[in-house]
Chains A and B, each alone.
Chain A
Amino acid sequence: MMFPHDRNPPIAGVLLALLFPLLAMMPARLAGQTLYATVLGNQKYVVGSSTLHSGLFRSSDTGRTWEHLGPENLKTYSMDAIDSSRGRILYIAAGNGVHRSTDFGRTWKIITGWRMTEVMDLAVDQRDPRTIYAATAFGFWRSTDGGTTWENPAGLLAERYVRAVKIHDGEIAATGSDTLYRSNDRGTTWRATARITDRQYDTAVIGRWRYTAGVKGIAKTSTDNPGQPVDITDDLPNRVVHAIATVGDALIAGTFGDGLFRLKGGSWKPSGLPGSQIWRLVVKPW
């Protein structure tokens, strides 16, 4: 015979037992923002000649301290995550393929085969998180089962260089070498929508200011009245800025070869990962 108060404890116990390992693995900070930095290599790196400290890094204190996640010596371009998992399910886009972690970055698996190489960007469809799009140097790929299997849709981007992929209102935008492509059918068909003529690597907005990173540093313009851009990287040791992000009210610059810098009091201060070639900075809402 089962008494009413006996019904729930076993279920709660089961839930706790299931959740406990996950809770134990979760990073201490769950609220606010988490900043991820992807490091392609370092200044001394040459394929096959030296080991580098590269890969995915995570900061939960707006870029003051960094924690390395996953394999070192990983030529890493970008990352994405299933936002609803709050940092549990992470993906890395890397030279060796797509890496996936389902335990907050503690363990990783390459979920692609030899055909997918030099994966330069990933985008998880947050409305349908089992759908993932991948930009590679050799074409566009997609998965509809969380990355377990991948397909390379025939058509315009099947074998074309794709360096970035983003999702906006259900539409996919893919950046090629000099063209912006868009797809409304999950990457099955594409149309070229614009020529890319500048060499901007990244942009960020704080308040009414837009910051644009490129090979000549960071330019600041007003979002209200663009006008002439102002260079704000006079004192940055390396003016090649490949990634830029805002965390709270802080502006973080990822240089290509000298790591991260934070704009503070009108000047740039080192913010970790010295010597690194930062490819991408990603801010996540957890």
Chain B
Amino acid sequence: MEALGAPRKPDLEAGGEAMVKRTIAIIMLAAFPLIAGCSGSRNLGTEPSRPERENREKALRHVAEQKSGTFQSITARLRLGMDTAHAFHQLDSLLTNPSGDMFWMYPAVACYLDCRAQLDAGWRARFRNTLRRYTPYRGDTENHFLMYYSTILLFSQEWPEMTGDEWFNGKSSRENYAEAEDYLNHWIDETVRYGTTEWDSPRYLYFYITPLITLRDFTADTLLRRRCEMMLEYQLADYAAEYLDGSYCGAHSRDGDNSVINPRNSEAASYGQFYFEDSLGFILPDLAFAACSGFQCPPIISAIAHDRDTAFVHTERKRSRARIRFADGKYAPAMKYDYITPDYGIGSIQGGLLQPIQQHSWSVTFASARPNNTLFGLHPQVSATELGMFFPEEPELMVDGVSKSKASYGSEDKWVGGSPYERIFQDSGTLVAVYDIPSSALFPHTDLFFPNSLDTLIRDASGWIFCRMEGAFVAVRPLGGTESGMTWTEETGCRRLRNRSLANGYIVECASGREMSFDRFMEKLRPLSIAVADPMKGFTYRSLRGTTISAIAPRSDPSAGSSRLLFFSIAGAGRNAGPQVGSDLFHGPNLRSAYDSGVLEMRCHGATRTLDFIRNEVRR
């Protein structure tokens, strides 16, 4: 069993001689390699490599130089002793007028603990008093609760004697600590046994990392600290398995308007660069906290992120976000399927609505440094029912409300969102998506995103649309509708193919230049083209790799509710729509985790690492 780091403790106890001690701290920072200053007196286990130390220093300096009035930038400047007067002035503002709910909380506690040696008794009291004055909303997602309870736990631990009168929620530190500890352990157990509900988000993964780093660094309870560090590794391993040259491949529970079309600019990519690449290609503010931490990403995880010598299938089982109404059961399984090669990755879920607003159901990701290195499609679903399924307020009042914070939600041109009318099937590099859109849908069309950064886009007479970006080839064959019902639009960053047929879909085929030439790719696909007027009536397709995929027409099934169900079969074996995956939480060459086991095994190049959340130990 591997020993994990002891909690970080500040080098100095600030008090009456705070100024003197802060000066000493600054001198120490200047006198020693930066990371020593950041890590305090904790047990690091292994020393970071020189390039890693340099990266952390650069990251901290970069965030410090932004001089923004955020806890991140303030932390960086206080740790570096840079422009501290201005930093304290900004800190005063943040503590005088707190806002942002749990997004205010998690960097506040990280700043407090990372800069404890730089904060005198007066500043510490300011933090403490804010806990009485400001009532943050706990939120309604996994990341919200993690941010909220990690902060509650660490501040309760810091001031265990605080009474209910001193906390915004009226609970004593003892009560708050117990509740936060119970929630965090519950969240860890549920996630590692049954799958996360806010899975693989290129945007929101960012908001898991700092709370976990802070818990890992500062939780006094040995067991909880160990579990939080294991959970941090778990999140990064989950990311690494679908990482391709800076991009997060496949389907995502929640993506952003920007990152969905430009994956290398996602918030998660900042950590991908930092932990998997030892690079600072994309520095976002929270890296300041990662730079202050002694946490090192285990080499096997970064190796998994780069283990792309051969193509492989990787599957995952996650859960939908908790559905509060308009659905059968609280959670639905989210079955993920990825086919990842050195040149591209293609991944999907089974379709349907598993997350509101920001779901990204499938994508091709090109292993390219070009902007907009992705290709995908969707039905732009907008509905009060969708929002009512996941949020408690009045469904008919929420569309306008959501559009205020997620501006694209109500747009017919949006590029994020799932649809109850979508069914997706994938077998290695072949993907079939079928849409059965009712005429009552607000936007009864589907859109396909073809990036402008493609080397080639050929609208072939066979019906295929052939695309190439560097060493990756993609072909798309629209199904359903007529030529006149399909329109191409040139837009900033992409060409949009819109299909206005209510019953439509497409077949997507991918191949690598290592398998065949682009000409050969086109030659092989042209004879495979099929004309399908109404995919909901069923069709059979023999794929590029010779697999027979049949889409079986649905029976009249009123109980299906929002959409009729299309069944798929592969090589004659029938099965429900959706990727053919086992029940494992992770199943692939690098990650394995059986459902309900609480154990994640990592393998790469002969090395292994096991996160055992039942025994709460890490095995190598």
Contacts and interface: CB of A to CB of B under 8 A. Distances in A.
Contact of A47 (B170, B325, B405): B405
A161 B393 CA distance: 11
Interface in A185-238: 199, 201, 215
Given A114-B179, A161-B324, A176-B325, A240 B171 contact: no
A96 B322 CA distance: 17
The B interface is mostly helix, strand or loop, or mixed, namely: loop
Interface in B514-551: none
B203 to A, nearest CB: 13
Given A48-B101, A51-B99, A73-B134, A108 B170 contact: yes
Interface stretch (B138-146, B336-344, B462-470, B591-599): B138-146
A96 B105 CA distance: 15
A233 to B, nearest CB: 16
A177 B326 contact: yes
B458 to A, nearest CB: 44
A75 interface: yes
A176 B138 CA distance: 24
Nearest to B97: A51
A252 interface: no
A64 interface: no
B170 A114 contact: no
A215 B397 contact: yes
A51 B404 CA distance: 15
A92 B138 CA distance: 15
A74 interface: yes
Most buried by A among B98, B170, B326: B170
A95 B137 contact: yes
A40 B393 contact: yes
Most buried by A among B144, B149, B179: B179
Nearest to A112: B179
Given A108-B170, A159-B330, A48 B324 contact: no
B392 interface: yes
B397 A199 contact: no
Interface string A80-117: 00000000000000011101000000011110011001
A120 B98 CA distance: 26
A107 B135 CA distance: 13
B388 A177 contact: yes
A137 interface: yes
B135 A47 contact: no
Nearest to A96: B138
A249 to B, nearest CB: 29
Nearest to A199: B396
Given A51-B99, A73-B134, A114 B149 contact: yes
A72 B132 CA distance: 12
B169 interface: yes
Interface residues of B, number: 41
B392 A49 contact: no
A71 interface: yes
A161 B171 CA distance: 27
Interface in B395-411: 396-397, 404-405
Interface in B83-136: 97-104, 134-136
A228 to B, nearest CB: 23
A240 B397 CA distance: 9
A163 interface: yes
Interface in A23-82: 40, 43-44, 46-51, 71-75
Given A73-B137, A114-B145, A242-B394, A48 B169 contact: no
B21 to A, nearest CB: 34
Contacts, number: 100
Given A117-B138, A240-B397, A107 B144 contact: no
A96 B392 CA distance: 13
The A interface is mostly helix, strand or loop, or mixed, namely: loop
B182 interface: yes
Contacts of B281: none
Contacts of B136: 73
A261 interface: no
Contact of A118 (B99, B145, B392): B392
A86 to B, nearest CB: 22
B405 A46 contact: yes
A110 B170 contact: yes
Nearest to A159: B330
Contacts of B330: 138, 159
A133 interface: no
A160 B98 CA distance: 35
A118 B325 CA distance: 14
Contacts of B388: 177
Nearest to B104: A48
A140 interface: no
Given A47-B137, A51-B98, A201 B394 contact: yes
A97 B140 CA distance: 12
B208 interface: no
Contacts of A109: 164, 169-171
B169 to A, nearest CB: 4
B194 interface: no
Nearest to B184: A114
Nearest to B135: A71
B397 A256 contact: yes
Nearest to A120: B392
B324 A137 contact: yes
B491 interface: no
Interface in A239-276: 240, 242, 256
Contacts of B325: 160-161, 176-177
B282 interface: no
B165 interface: yes
A48 B179 contact: no
A47 B147 CA distance: 13
Contact of B392 (A137, A159, A242): A137
Given A117-B140, A177-B388, A96 B405 contact: no
Contact of A48 (B102, B164, B393): B102
B135 A113 contact: no
A44 B98 CA distance: 16
Given A72-B135, A137-B392, A47 B140 contact: yes
A107 B134 CA distance: 14
Contacts of B169: 96, 109-110
B135 A49 contact: no
Contacts of A215: 394, 396-397
A99 B167 CA distance: 13
Nearest to A41: B401
B312 interface: no
Nearest to B179: A113
A242 B398 CA distance: 13
Interface string B180-204: 0011001000000000000000000
24 contacts: A47-B101, A48-B100, A49-B100, A50-B99, A73-B135, A73-B136, A74-B137, A95-B137, A95-B138, A95-B140, A107-B170, A109-B170, A110-B169, A114-B149, A114-B179, A118-B140, A137-B324, A161-B324, A199-B394, A199-B396, A215-B394, A242-B394, A256-B394, A256-B397
Given A159-B330, A215-B394, 9 more contacts: A51-B99, A72-B135, A75-B137, A95-B138, A99-B170, A110-B170, A138-B330, A163-B392, A256-B394
6 A-B pairs with least C-beta separation: A109-B170, A71-B135, A137-B392, A51-B99, A177-B325, A46-B405
